[in-house]
Amino acid sequence: MSTVTLPAPTTTTRDARPTRRLIAAILLPVAPLSVAVLRGIWPSFSASDTAGSIQAAAAHPDAQEAVVWLGSLMMLTMVPAMLAAVRLARRRRPVLAMLAAGVNLVAYLGTALTTGDLLTLVAARDGYDRGEMVGFIDAMNAHPTAVISIVLFVVGHIVGMILLGAALWRIIPAWASVALIVSQPLHFVAYVVLQAQALDALAWGLTAAGFAACALKVLRTPDDAWDLAPTQS
């Protein structure tokens, strides 16, 4: 009596690559755009010290509240957005993409150590001794971890964005690469040298425009060029 051997059942693994690309495309412009809006409405932009920052926040509490929420949105979205942009360049320029990812990650992950905007918002509210809060915030900002975090962020996000723009050359449109390369040096000049708030917001708007171009490229990238296909189990 003969027996028939049936093939073992197979489980089809759902391919999540289209969903991952869609999420990446959404996050890419959201991250820098949140910073562009933040920089444009930040009450303490021109404040020369902590006391001035608290006074500016007290005069514009709604704007300061928005700054805190926008900053939180940036911290949640910037790292995955940056990694998505780097992924576009990793096959054609692997070394430059690796450097861009590393420098930017050091910069943006370090921002988790700073909570200056939130402390300023709370200190500006009624019921707090602003003189004591100034001393507290200044002492916190003088701590070595805060100083290192600020230095790494300032240097890292400027150099890292230049590296990213260079890594994406001819992968995204040329204007978008140029926008990424010049955006953060322009941000530094606008904030530190010129104290021009509108120009600072524009600089971050250039980053958002470059990331929007990355988002379009991500949406047009075939799944097999984006990542390996899932295996069958």
Q: Which of 112, 197, 190 is nearest to 153 (CA)?
A: 112
pLDDT digits (tens, 9 = 90+) for 155-164: 999 999 999 9
pLDDT in tens, 196-211: 999 999 999 999 999 9
For residue 97, is it within any domain? Answer: yes
Q: pLDDT tens digits, residue range 60-113?
A: 999 999 999 999 899 899 999 999 999 999 999 999 999 999 999 988 887 655
- Asked if residue 226 belongs to a domain, the reply is no
The predicted model gives 172-179 an average pLDDT of: 98
Reference 161, options 70, 81, 73, 41; nearest CA is: 81
* pLDDT for res 136: 83
Mean confidence (pLDDT) of the chain: 90
Query: Does residue 3 lie in a domain region?
Result: no
pLDDT for res 130: 82
Q: Give domain status of residue 6, yes or no.
A: no
Range of the domain at 82: 18-221
pLDDT of 121 over the 90 cut: no
Domains contained in the chain, number: 1
- Burial class (CB within 10 angstroms; exposed 0-12, middle 13-18, buried 19+) of 42: buried
User: 50 in a domain, yes or no?
Assistant: yes
Query: Is 4 among the domain residues?
Result: no
Residue 10 lies in a domain: no
Mean pLDDT of 209-222: 97
